[in-house]
Amino acid sequence: MSPEPPPLEPSVWDAVIVGAGAAGLMAAAEAAICGARTLLVEKNRKPGVKILMSGGTRCNITQATDNRGIVAAFGAAGRFLHSPLAALSVAETIELFHSEGVLTKVEPTGKIFPASDKAVDVQAALVRRVERSGATLALGEGVLEVQREDEGFRLTTTRRIVLARKLLITTGGQSYPGCGTIGEGYRWAAQFGHTIVAPRPALVPITTPSTWVRALGGITIPDVLVRVRDEAGRALAERRGSLLFAHFGLSGPVILDVSRVVSGHPQPRSLSLECNFLPALDVEQLVASWRAQAQVAGKKQLLSVVAEQLPQRLCEALLATAQLSPQMKVAELSQRAWHEAAAALLKQSIPIEGTLGFKKAEVTAGGVALGEVNSSTMQSKLVPNLFLAGEVLDLDGPIGGYNFQAAWSTGTLAGRKMAEDWA
């Protein structure tokens, strides 16, 4: 183990930003460019750890849409993003990365990635920009306590006392706590009187007690319609997209996107996932197409007919849930059995146990209540000179680059507004 770094002299800054993630890196460069003496403090030895691991280490930077598309994707909370997106739009985000030498590409799902497929290129560009801006980046220095002092703040870090005229909290949420995000920002905001909307895991894999589901671990189905239903049969969330079977249950974009209603439910075990594995067809169409085949090839086994459009192992498992033998000759199937087979593929109900929790959640839902933050400045409405940006806020979007866009834009606006006194 390397020795502890020596303590530092106390220091005074115009703007101090806690957390060098997506929002903090943007904010620090912006504040320094706008004229503030800026310190960016990060507990990890590397800045932007989540950027590095994001998008399967490819970093899905944003989504190919306009500002309105981003706002809409966040639902009711989306209107909070109008001013941040006016400060840094989707187009300006892409331009910013291009100007830093990170070319981008758009994938068919609308996700925008660096052309190199390397998240490290995104992180390195942001760090370069911070360094060029004149902001000081202090790595391996965790902030332990934050207190108000006169007009500003006094921070106790693992290495020194830092005095800040303006303070920006960009400590993220509390998902993937192994990355350093353990929710300290919530504690400080609460200490300053802010309401914290109960944090819960979002964009997180879902677990199930169904052994047949877990036994299919590793299989991906590109187009599945998924609905989360409660005991009364009400659909709480619905999404269509790619689904991945895993040894604990289900994952993949479509599952991550509906997971927030599971983690936010008081009794997740009362919920189920209804999966339609062939969403382009209805039961009648599917039965008609199977029966047409059965008429010309009655000796075919049920499985070979059913498994034409889906993996055989999945179809075997789905037929088993309807107590249908995959070896049955199709000529012997009753109309009712055909319908049961079709329902097994198009209306398969999978019981839910819960989620993999904060440990494996890509984002945290909940956080600092938006009503207490001025979205035109990102400044706290309760505490002068305190700013908040990024995932620490009660803002979480779907999969597809939306969460980074919220962090880039809120971080940029906060950095700019913090520096106004020195511009």
Binding site for ligand FAD (CB under 6 A): 18-24, 41-44, 49-50, 53-55, 59-60, 142-143, 170-172, 175-176, 180-181, 184, 362-363, 390-391, 401-404, 407
Q: How far is the CB of 411 from ligand FAD (least distance, A)?
A: 7
CB 369 within 8 A of CB 195: yes
Among residues 56 and 298, whose Cβ is nearest to ligand FAD? Answer: 56
Among residues 385 and 409, whose Cβ is nearest to ligand FAD? Answer: 409
Q: Which residue is nearest to ligand FAD (CB)?
A: 21
Among residues 54 and 93, whose Cβ is nearest to ligand FAD? Answer: 54
> Can you name the residues that pair with 15 across neighbouring β-strands?
38, 166
Strand ranges for 296-362 from DSSP E? 348-351, 354-355
Measured CA to CA, the distance from residue 62 to residue 6 in angstroms comes to: 39
Burial 147-173 (b: 16+ CB within 10 A, else e): eeeeebbbbebebeebebbbbbbbbbb
Measured CA to CA, the distance from residue 160 to residue 334 in angstroms comes to: 78
Q: How far is the CB of 114 from ligand FAD (least distance, A)?
A: 11
Report which residue type is found at 9. E
CB 361 within 8 A of CB 199: no
Q: How far is the CB of 25 from ligand FAD (least distance, A)?
A: 7
Among residues 23 and 368, whose Cβ is nearest to ligand FAD? Answer: 23
Greatest alpha-carbon span in the chain = 86
Measured CA to CA, the distance from residue 17 to residue 172 in angstroms comes to: 12
Among residues 177 and 371, whose Cβ is nearest to ligand FAD? Answer: 177
CA-based nearest residue to 238, from 246, 249, 226: 226
Which DSSP letter does residue 265 get? S
Report which residue type is found at 295. Q
Q: How far is the CB of 407 from ligand FAD (least distance, A)?
A: 4
| Structure tokens, 280 | 């382009």
Q: How far is the CB of 26 from ligand FAD (least distance, A)?
A: 8
Among residues 210 and 259, whose Cβ is nearest to ligand FAD? Answer: 259
Please return the burial class of 178, using the count of CB atoms within 10 Å of its CB with bins 0-12, 13-18 and 19+.
exposed
Q: How far is the CB of 175 from ligand FAD (least distance, A)?
A: 6
Q: How far is the CB of 366 from ligand FAD (least distance, A)?
A: 13
Q: How far is the CB of 153 from ligand FAD (least distance, A)?
A: 14
3-state DSSP helix/strand/coil percent for the chain, to nearest 5?
40, 25, 35
- Angle between helices 283-296 and 335-346 in degrees, nearest 10: 130
Strand order of the β-sheet with 111-114 is 62-63, 111-114, 104-106
Among residues 155 and 318, whose Cβ is nearest to ligand FAD? Answer: 155
Q: How far is the CB of 104 from ligand FAD (least distance, A)?
A: 13
Reduced to 3 states, what is the DSSP secondary structure of residue 275? strand
Among residues 13 and 338, whose Cβ is nearest to ligand FAD? Answer: 13
Among residues 23 and 228, whose Cβ is nearest to ligand FAD? Answer: 23
Q: How far is the CB of 387 from ligand FAD (least distance, A)?
A: 13
Among residues 62 and 348, whose Cβ is nearest to ligand FAD? Answer: 62
